[in-house]
Each structure stands twice: as C-alpha cells, then as structure tokens.
Amino acid sequence: MQKFNKLQSIPAYLPIVNIDTDMIIPKQFLKTIKRTGLGKNLFFEMRYDDNGKEIQDFVLNNKPFNNSKILIAGNNFGCGSSREHAPWALLDFGITCVISSSYADIFYSNCFKNGILPIILEEEKIKELSEYSNRKEEISIDLNEQKIVYGNNEIKFNIDPFKKKCLLEGLDDIALSLEKSQQMDAFEKSLKEKKPWIFND
C-alpha cells in the first residue's frame, strides 16, 4: 500500500449529501477482477451523458479539478454497499484524501486499506474549505501533524492513532495480523474444545 504523508492540491467540492457507493462507481463496473482502471468511471452517471460525453458542469470534468487529489463532499459520504471499488475508483482517479462531516462505516475503513485518508470535519469548516475550491486555491494536508493548512489558517483533525500509523507507514494489515499467529492458534484450539460444532467435525 502507498504511504500517505503530505498532500497539496486544489480541492474539488461536491456539495451533495449521502453520496452513495452506487454514485461513486455504478455496478456495471464491478464486473472487473482487477483493482485498477476504475478512475475513468468514477461518478460515472454524474460525469457522462447518455452518449458517453462528459457533462460540462460536473466538477471533476473541469480544470483544475480533473487533477484534484482532495475531494470535499456532503455528509454521510460512501453510504450503501461494501464495494471496495469505490475507494479503488477514487484512488485510480488520483484522489487520496476525502473531507466530509461523516462517512459510512464500511467505506471509511475501506479507505484506509487503500492509502486514502478520509478526514472528518465539522460542517462549518467544510464550508470554509469549500471556498478554496471555488477560488481554485490549493490547500495542504499534513497527516503526521494532523492538520489542514489553507491560506493563513490551519485546522487540526482527529484520526485513530493506529490507522494513522498504518497510513504513514503503508503497512500491510495481513502481515501485521499474521504476527499474532500464536494467539490465533491458541484461540482456535480452545474454540475446538468449547464449541466443537463451529468446525463441523
């Protein structure tokens, strides 16, 4: 997984609440067996018309937002299905940081598995930051310091220390868990005695 540390970009602002995973990446693109290549279909139905032409007033279709690495959006971002294709599509498009006032749980944890930082801020702050999108000015994110710098201001954000560490170091979850294989063996052994039916043998 790609490490995450600092990021600087003009943010793209999508002022819609409850952006669901079907909007982020519709199901016709879930038939892939790969993780890559989904960026061109990110927000497909808002981004293209019936003939496959780009819809001009959709933010990500316009310069400089077609190169944004930061997406600011309304609350409850990523609700709906568990599809990891949603963060894969964001990542493939180039977005590695999302800012919203709340996220759906599964989407939130999927971001961290893919080197995407989902930041939670109060609505007020989001409105303030969205001005930078309107004015096409860069903002910068510093994960280590847990702060967003914009103009002469900065805001701190909260993040779970363990998730932060994993992002900063680009750690592979599975390798980390496998370090606990002794505990796993012990757990399974006692489970076989306590609840033999679980293993059906």
Partner 1 sequence: MSTTLYDKIWNDHLVHQQEDGTSLLFVDRHLIHEVTSPQAFEGLRNANRKVRNPKLTLAVVDHNIPTTDRSKGIDDEDSRIQIETLDKNCKEFGVQLFGVDDKRQGIVHIVGPEQGFTQPGTVIVCGDSHTATHGAFGSLAFGIGTSEVEHVLATQTLVQKKAKNFRVNVNGKLAIGVTSKDVVLQIIGKIGTAGGTGYVIEYAGSLISDLSVENRMTICNMTIEGGARAGLIQPDQKIFDYLKGRPMSPKNENWDKALEYWKTLKTDDDAKFDKEINLTAEDIAPMVTWGTSPQDVASIDGKVPNPKNESDIDRRNSIDRSLQYMGLKADVALKDIKIDTVFIGSCTNGRIEDLREAAQILKDKKKATHVHAMVVPGSGLVKEQAEQEGLDKIFINSGFEWREPGCSMCLAMNADKLKPEERCASTSNRNFEGRQGRGGRTHLVSPGMAAAAAIAGNLDDVRKYQN
Considering the rule CB under 8 A, would residue 37 count as an interface residue with partner 1?
no
The answer to whether the Cα torsion of 20, 24, 30, 33 is positive or negative is negative
For 201, the token pair is 């043998």
Can you tell me which of 6, 184, 189, 192 binds partner 1, judged by CB under 8 A?
Answer: 184
> Nearer Cβ to partner 1, position 75 or 140?
75
In this structure, how many other beta carbons lie within 10 angstroms of the beta carbon of residue 89? 26
Nearest distance from residue 93's CB to partner 1, in Å?
A: 18
10 Å CB burial of residue 112 (0-12, 13-18, 19+) is buried
Considering the rule CB under 8 A, would residue 45 count as an interface residue with partner 1?
yes
Q: With contact defined as beta carbons under 8 Å apart, do 80 and 104 qualify?
A: yes
Tokens 């990110």 belong to which residue?
42
Nearest distance from residue 152's CB to partner 1, in Å?
A: 29
Can you tell me which of 62, 66, 67, 162 binds partner 1, judged by CB under 8 A?
Answer: 162
Q: Quick one: which segment of 2-10, 90-98, 140-148, 176-184 binds partner 1 (CB under 8 A)?
A: 176-184
Considering the rule CB under 8 A, would residue 92 count as an interface residue with partner 1?
no
Considering the rule CB under 8 A, would residue 131 count as an interface residue with partner 1?
no
Nearest distance from residue 67's CB to partner 1, in Å?
A: 26
Considering the rule CB under 8 A, would residue 171 count as an interface residue with partner 1?
no
**Reduced to 3 states, what is the DSSP secondary structure of residue 166?**
helix
In this structure, how many other beta carbons lie within 10 angstroms of the beta carbon of residue 138? 16
User: Omega into 118 within 30° of 0, i.e. cis?
Assistant: no
Q: What is the dihedral of CA 5, 145, 86, 3, to 10 degrees?
A: 20
Contact positions vs partner 1 (CB under 8 A)? 16-18, 20, 22-23, 26-28, 30-35, 45, 50, 74-76, 79-84, 87, 102-106, 109-110, 113-114, 160-162, 173-174, 177-178, 180-181, 183-184, 187-188, 191, 195-201
